Structures are given as C-alpha cells and as structure tokens.
A and B are shown apart, each in its own frame.
Chain A
Amino acid sequence: MSDIYNDDGETIAEMPLTERQLAILDAADELVVIYHTPQLLRHLLGEHSGSFTLHKRDDRVVTNEPKVVERYAQLQKAIAAARRVS
C-alpha cells in the first residue's frame, strides 16, 4: 500500500499501486485512477464512482484532488467493512 498525500503534505489515503503504476509515476507522468463500488457490494454500499490523478513529488505520491481521494478512501473503508460482514 502506498500513502497518498495532499498538496500540504498530509496523508489522506492509502491505496495499492502496481508495478506498472509506480513505473508511470516514476516517469514523472500523471496517473489516472478510476474507482467504483464493486458490483457484488453495490446492494450494500450503493453506486459510487469517480476518478482522480496522482503524480510523484520527491518520493511522495501526491494528488491535486484531495476531496475525490477522500471519497475514494471512505469507499474503501466501507468496502472493507462490508466484506467483513458478508
């Protein structure tokens, strides 16, 4: 899991980044992340989806869209809780 930072240097979420995604970030490119509620949990969590971009600043993975990333992080927490229940 990699920590995601906002522009102020605060950790706002953590997410799994694959080898390919890290390579994109290392190449100083922007990485677009798309998220949605997994289909099998939609009846519990409703339909949520969105996207945000990440880039690397120094050694940190940073986003310019902290509010979207926070919504993503909340969804991940809800997914984890729903999986524990189901």
Chain B
Amino acid sequence: MPQVPVQFGEWRPDIATLDTQFANDVENVFPGSNSYLPVPSLVPFADQPVPPPPSNEPIVGLFSARTTTGEWKIYAGTPTKLYNWSLFAGWTELGSGYHVPPGELWSFCQFGKWVIAAQIGDKPVKADADTGGAFTVITAAPIAHNCRTIGDFVFLGGLASNRRKIIWSSINDVDGWTPGLNLSDEQEMPDGGPVMGLAGDKIGYIVQDRAVSLLQFMPGDTTYIFQISKVVYDRGCVSECGFTSIGDNLYLICEDGFYHLSGPQLTPIGHEKVNDWFLANSDVGRRNVVQCISAVKPYIFWAYHASPGTPAKYYDRVILFNWSNARWSRMAINAQMWATAATVNLDLDTTGPEVNDVNLDTPPLPPARSLDSFAYMGGRPRVAAIDPNGFLCELAGPNLQATMETQEKHLVPGSRAMVGDVYPIADGADGVIYNGTRERLQDDVIWTQAYPIEITGSAAVYNSARLHRFRHIIPRDSKWTHAQGVMADAQQDGTVA
C-alpha cells in the first residue's frame, strides 16, 4: 500500500482543518516547530501541604523572590494568611488576619529585599526576604488590588478608593506613598475601566479592563515623572492576573481572545487559532481569575477553569503559547496556583555540615529526593504549582498522557480510502491509535476502537472510509521526546496494491 504521511501540525482548532496541515486536537504536549513534546506531570516537592492541616483554605497567591545573596524564597497566600517556604523549614506562617475576598487573589512583587503583597481586602504588606521576617503593614500605602515593581518605584493599581487609579511610591522607598513627595504620585485613568494590573519595566504597561497604556519613566523630570499614553483603546485584560510581560512584550487575554502588545503594536495571537475554542471551552464565570505565568523556556501558561463544574479550589486546564514559534497547545492539570519558582540548592554530599543533609540518606522519613529533583538545582527557575492537596510541586514528574489528533484528510482524493497499518512518527512512544472516519462532511465522525501499536511499530487499523483522521494517545509515564504525526498505509478502496 502507498504510504501517506499525515502530520499532526500546528493546533488551530478555530479553523477548518480538512486537508490542511493543522492538528484537530492536542492535549498535554508542548508545541515544537515540527513536533509535539511531552509534558511532565506535577510532582510534589515540599514535604508538607500549605496551609498546614487542619486548615483547608485555598491557595490564592504564589510567588518566588530572591534574597540579596541570591537565594530563592517561595511565598504563598491563603485568603487569611501568608506563608514562606524553605527547603529546610517547610512552610512558615509570616502573617495572618487578612481578608482576601472570594474571587480575588494576592498580587506580589519584590523591591530590593522587600516582598510586597497586595489584595483588595487590606492594606499592602511587606516582608524582608533577607531575614525571613514576618509581613508588616505598609501603613502609608492605600488599599489596592495589585502591585508591581517598575524601575525604582513600586506601583499599586486598582485602588480601593477608585479602581481606575494607580499610585507609585517614592523613588527607592517602599514606605513612601505621599503623592508629591520624592517623586511619588498618582494618576487616574479617565476611561478604560478598572486597572487590572501593571506589567513590564523599561516600558511599563497599565492594563485595564478595556484599555492598555504605556508607562515610561522620564529621568530628570520631577514634574511628570512618568509619561502615560494609551495605546489600546477598546481591549483590555479580563483577569487581574491574566497577563504577563517578557522583556518589553505584554501577553494578555482580552474579552475576545489572546493578544501580544509590543510597545504600541497590538497583535492578535489567538485569532483563527485558539480564541473561539478557548471561549467555548472555558468557564465564562471565572475568566476574571484566569492566571497567566511566564514559564521557563518560551512558554506562557494561562491556567483556567474548563467549565462551571470545575471545583472552585483549583484550575483544571492550562492553555499554553510558545512565543518563539507562535504555536499553541493545552494541558489538563489540576493546580490551585501556578508560578515560576526555584529554591536553594541541596548538595549531594551527605557528610558535610549543611543543614538537612540527613534528608538524603535517611529514608523513609523524609524520603531521599530523586536525583533530578530541583532541590539539587538551587536557583534554577522551574515551573511550580500548588496542587489541589496543597503540596508545592514542580512540573518535572513522569510524562502525562498525551493526545494528538491529525487533521481530517482525503487520503485518496475522490475515492474511499482503505487504511491498513498506521505508523506513528514518534520516538520511544508507546500507545494506541484511533481512526476517525466519515463518508461525507455532513456526517458525524465515527471513531474506531483503540488499536495498539504492535511490535512492528504500527497499529493495524484496516478501515475504509472517504475521510480519515488519526488520534495518537501516548500513555502516562511513557518516555518519548517528539511526535510528528502518522504514516498511514492507504489505497483506493476496492483496488489491490
């Protein structure tokens, strides 16, 4: 039989994929330029949950900061408490008595040695990352939804007194919040709705519900301090944590999908790709808490709730964008909160004086960490999350079950095609192949049973139809690196090869 290559191709569920090079569906894979790559699962890194039992409050904030000496510290917040995690001491409560309202999240930023946390229920608080001290109230600062460090200033956005207002601190002073003093000042956006947050640095962004403005520091200008110019008039971010900046580039989710803003240049990155799919497959009632993080490698994650039925405590889906090749993918992972985090390193020398060396050779309590744990790679940023049980995890576990589905194809144009063996082009991958068929575009797709990949490396499908598509499912824990598509043995039905 002639062999017909059918690539998985770029995932673009918003367009017709008949006889194109685009994939119909993918799940739990990273999008490479000509293949899909496996997504690891979340594996617990901390030995104890946050918040410590018996509390079962949800985690509504996760942040990592660096001390003056370069060590990493991880902070998490519940609606009422703030915690710090370290490899040696586990979770330590650093503040309590807060009032994060339902549907709101903590917003964190770092300024020098200070970690600053803001939310609309209370005044912002700060903690000394170097000393590990408790959070204290920044008494002079107003209550605000979010915070961000831009240049030598701390910004607060979405003030309780007026959600269209931002205020910035005195220069190099997290406690100076008197407008008119030491370059501190405030600005009210005349329109554009509530300020959802700020992003960027050299080029800052004020992200509103229905507008985005550029914010540029004017050195030496003690009158205006920052130049603010609106560059997006009719779109803004739907979530207070639904945007991120990489360099001077802003990525955000708007009411009608995903966009990239570089200075004044707005580019739709999800149009005719994933926007319609996302809007149809996410809970509209909770888009206001979609969480965006800039992950390691060129990936941006947007964590969201797939449906109104998703429990309130955690996100159950992630849609991810590879900004180096403008390709999308998605993941089905449950996590309360995502972040890019790192920790201090734990060395492999168990005879040295380092605290907690005992962790390495006294299983089972606590068990020794696996050799690829990021405990041994201190300071190296990794994608982290708090899982539904409250454990701090890294995205470095066994590979998740991956699903990739090709476009629908006339394998033999003008005729029914008899498909024999289907050979997945995926290294090291086990799994099964499904064949979806129909005779007319007006018919529903009928899926076959799962055909295992045999010792020949092919799945014996043997199915006849006019239109074919193939789904490759690679089971959890399989070790593989790339999946490109399938090679289908196909010939005109009724003929002999």
Partner pick for B181 among A15, A19, A20, A40, CB 8 A cutoff: A15
Contact B223 A47 (CB under 8 A): yes
Q: In whole angstroms, how far apart are the Cα atoms of A47 and B174 in the complex? A: 25
Q: In whole angstroms, how far apart are the Cα atoms of A79 and B174 in the complex? A: 22
Chain A contact surface mostly: mixed
Q: In whole angstroms, how far apart are the Cα atoms of A18 and B173 in the complex? A: 8
Contact A21 B188 (CB under 8 A): no
Chain B: which residue is nearest A19 at the CB level? B175
**Binary interface encoding of chain B residues 162-184 relative to chain A, with 1 for a CB under 8 A from any of its CBs, else 0:** 00000000101111101111110
Partner pick for A18 among B140, B186, B187, CB 8 A cutoff: B140
Q: Is B222 an interface residue (CB 8 A)?
A: yes
Q: In whole angstroms, how far apart are the Cα atoms of A34 and B175 in the complex? A: 15
> Interface size on B (CB < 8 Å)?
20
Inter-chain contact count A-B, CB under 8 Å?
53
Contact B140 A39 (CB under 8 A): no
Q: Is B185 an interface residue (CB 8 A)?
A: yes
Residues of chain B with a CB closer than 8 A to A33's CB: 181-182
Partner pick for A49 among B186, B188, B222, CB 8 A cutoff: B222
Contact B186 A40 (CB under 8 A): yes
Most central of B182, B185, B187 by chain A CB within 10 Å: B182
Distance in angstroms from A50 CB to nearest chain B CB is: 9
Q: In whole angstroms, how far apart are the Cα atoms of A33 and B170 in the complex? A: 10
Distance in angstroms from A4 CB to nearest chain B CB is: 13
Q: In whole angstroms, how far apart are the Cα atoms of A38 and B188 in the complex? A: 12
Contact A34 B173 (CB under 8 A): no
Partner pick for B180 among A18, A19, A36, CB 8 A cutoff: A36
Contact B175 A79 (CB under 8 A): no
Q: Is B224 an interface residue (CB 8 A)?
A: yes
Q: In whole angstroms, how far apart are the Cα atoms of A24 and B194 in the complex? A: 37
Contact B182 A34 (CB under 8 A): yes
**Binary interface encoding of chain B residues 133-165 relative to chain A, with 1 for a CB under 8 A from any of its CBs, else 0:** 000000010000000000000000000000000
Residues of chain A with a CB closer than 8 A to B172's CB: 20
Residues of chain A with a CB closer than 8 A to B181's CB: 15-16, 33-35
Question: Which residues on B are within 8 Å of A, measured CB to CB?
Answer: 140, 170, 172-176, 178-183, 185-188, 222-224
